[in-house]
């Protein structure tokens, strides 16, 4: 077993364990911290597949910006394990778990005998994911969607400001 | 690594996200589980791009790069979605003083 295989299994265990703890932990702050661990493990997977640009973007955007936003919101609301809304109906909880596990069972059964299992993922080599290649593709073929995404960000920013603005109540 | 390992890893993360959405009632944790599912899809897309680079790299040299640019755009859209979604959750919390999604059934009337 080579170093790439050991790293793959370690990062996979970290990813799945972090994802389970996101769902299982009572305190939302702990959930967010476990989600950050999961995102770092996924970034490790990207590095292992030599997709370096996506690994960096994943860390900057997800672990850096989005998770800090979540953490700010949770801390502003002062949420903890006591303020967690209780799941009153136990059968709904078990129904959710059974539904998710059934979906996983069906997909595993459908995919385990697929013909793609002989295909190998190229690890640690290949220059596809390097910044120079992706930048060339992004700024030649995909420059129009790239500029459109700036409009999307502008509208998202305006939308967030409008939604979270305090409503002025006019006295009659 | 065979592509199957990546398929099953993404499948596990995706199903954990689905279980979280179905069982938790805290709207912020539901939102985080949606992010988890998006990341499972991203991981699988990147794995497929590296797989097809071996097979199709000689005929379509920019195919794998296009797959990774697609993942980049998914991240862009996810960032915009999170900002608006968290604004909605904050507004909900300000009005009801709770993050319980079951409070939202008052939208029925």
Q: What is the pLDDT along chain B (109 residues), one digit of tens a residue?
A: 788 888 899 999 999 999 999 998 888 999 999 999 999 999 999 988 887 655 566 666 677 788 889 999 999 999 999 999 999 888 888 888 888 887 777 766 5
% residues pLDDT > 70 (chain A): 92
B84 to chain A: which residues are within 8 Å by CB? Answer: 156, 159-160, 163
Kindly state whether residues A91 and A157 are assigned to the same domain: no
Q: What single-letter DSSP state applies at residue A129? A: T
Residues 6+ apart with CB under 8 A from A56: none
User: Could you report the per-residue pLDDT of B81-103, keeping only the tens digit for each?
Assistant: 999 999 988 888 888 888 888 77
> Over 90: is that where the pLDDT of A36 sits?
yes
Closest C-alpha among B83, B58, B31, B89 to residue A155: B83
Kindly state whether residues A141 and A59 are assigned to the same domain: no
> Over 90: is that where the pLDDT of A12 sits?
yes
Instruction: Name the one residue in this structure whose structure tokens are 């603005």.
Output: A165
Please indicate if any CB of chain B lies within 8 Å of the CB of A108: yes
Kindly state whether residues A23 and A50 are assigned to the same domain: yes
Query: In which band, very low, low, confident or very high, does the pLDDT at A76 lie, cut at 50, 70 and 90?
Result: confident
d(CA A3, CA B106): 55
Find the CB nearest A23 among B19, B28, B68.
B19
Query: Can you give the CATH number for the domain in which A74 is found?
Result: 1.20.120.1200
Question: How many domains in chain B?
Answer: 1
Q: What is the pTM of this model?
A: 0.89
Kindly state whether residues A44 and A124 are assigned to the same domain: yes
Kindly state whether residues A138 and A69 are assigned to the same domain: no
B85 to chain A: which residues are within 8 Å by CB? Answer: none
pLDDT of residue B109: 58
Contact across the interface for B53 and A122, Cβ inside 8 Å = yes
Contact across the interface for B69 and A152, Cβ inside 8 Å = no
pLDDT of residue B3: 82
B62 DSSP β-pair partners: none
Kindly state whether residues A31 and A98 are assigned to the same domain: yes
Q: Give the other-Cβ count within 10 Å of A84's Cβ.
A: 18
> CA A43, A97, A42 angle in degrees (round to 5)?
5
- Domain hosting A149: range is 130-167
A147: in domain? yes
- Domain hosting B67: range is 3-108
The mean pLDDT value for A24-46 works out to: 92
A104: in domain? yes
Closest C-alpha among A76, A82, A66 to residue A32: A66
Q: Which of A14, A15, A166 to mutate to test the interface with B (most CBs of B within 10 A)?
A: A15
pLDDT of residue A20: 93
User: Could you report the per-residue pLDDT of A151-160, keeping only the tens digit for each?
Assistant: 999 999 999 9
Find the CB nearest B16 among A20, A95, A120.
A20
pLDDT of residue B108: 63
Chain A residues 119-148 with a CB less than 8 Å from chain B = 119-123, 126, 128-129, 133-134, 136-138, 141-142, 145
Kindly state whether residues A106 and A158 are assigned to the same domain: no
Query: Can you give the CATH number for the domain in which B34 is found?
Result: 1.10.287.3510
Token duo for residue A77: 């609301």
Please indicate if any CB of chain B lies within 8 Å of the CB of A112: yes
Question: How many domains in chain A?
Answer: 2
A126: left (phi over 0), alpha (psi -120 to 50) or beta: left
Kindly state whether residues A148 and A108 are assigned to the same domain: no
Kindly state whether residues A94 and A137 are assigned to the same domain: no
Residue that wins the pLDDT comparison between A128 and A32? A32
CA distances from A33 to A8, A21, B95 (A): 22, 10, 27
Kindly state whether residues A104 and A161 are assigned to the same domain: no
Contact across the interface for A156 and B4, Cβ inside 8 Å = no
ipTM here: 0.89
A172: in domain? no
A75: in domain? yes
pLDDT of residue A159: 92
The mean pLDDT value for A157-168 works out to: 84
Average pLDDT value over all residues in chain A: 86
Kindly state whether residues A109 and A147 are assigned to the same domain: no
Kindly state whether residues A26 and A65 are assigned to the same domain: yes
């Amino acid at each position: 077993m080579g170093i790439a295989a050991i790293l793959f299994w370690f990062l996979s265990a970290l990813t799945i364990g972090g994802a389970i703890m996101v769902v299982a932990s009572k305190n939302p702050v702990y959930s967010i911290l476990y989600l950050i661990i999961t995102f770092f493990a996924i970034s490790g997977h990207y590095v292992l597949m030599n997709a370096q640009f996506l690994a960096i973007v994943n860390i900057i955007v997800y672990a850096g910006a989005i998770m800090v936003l979540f953490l700010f919101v949770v801390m502003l609301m002062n949420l903890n394990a006591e303020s967690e809304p209780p799941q009153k109906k136990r059968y709904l909880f078990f129904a959710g778990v059974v539904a998710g596990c059934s979906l996983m069972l069906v997909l595993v059964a459908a995919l385990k005998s697929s013909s793609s299992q002989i295909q190998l993922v190229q690890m640690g080599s290949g220059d596809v994911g390097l910044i120079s290649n992706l930048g060339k593709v992004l700024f030649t073929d995909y420059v129009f969607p790239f500029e459109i995404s700036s409009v999307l960000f502008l509208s998202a920013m305006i939308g967030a400001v409008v939604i979270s603005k305090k409503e002025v109540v006019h006295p009659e | 690594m065979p592509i199957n390992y990546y398929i099953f890893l993404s499948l596990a993360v995706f199903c954990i996200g689905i279980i979280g959405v179905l069982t938790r009632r805290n709207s912020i944790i539901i939102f985080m589980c949606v992010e988890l599912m998006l990341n499972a899809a991203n991981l699988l897309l990147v794995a497929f791009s590296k797989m097809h680079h071996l097979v199709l790299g000689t005929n379509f040299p920019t195919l794998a790069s296009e797959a990774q640019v697609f993942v980049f755009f998914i991240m862009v859209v996810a960032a915009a979605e999170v900002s608006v979604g968290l604004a909605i959750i904050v507004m909900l919390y300000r009005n009801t003083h709770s993050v319980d999604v079951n409070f939202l059934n008052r939208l029925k009337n």
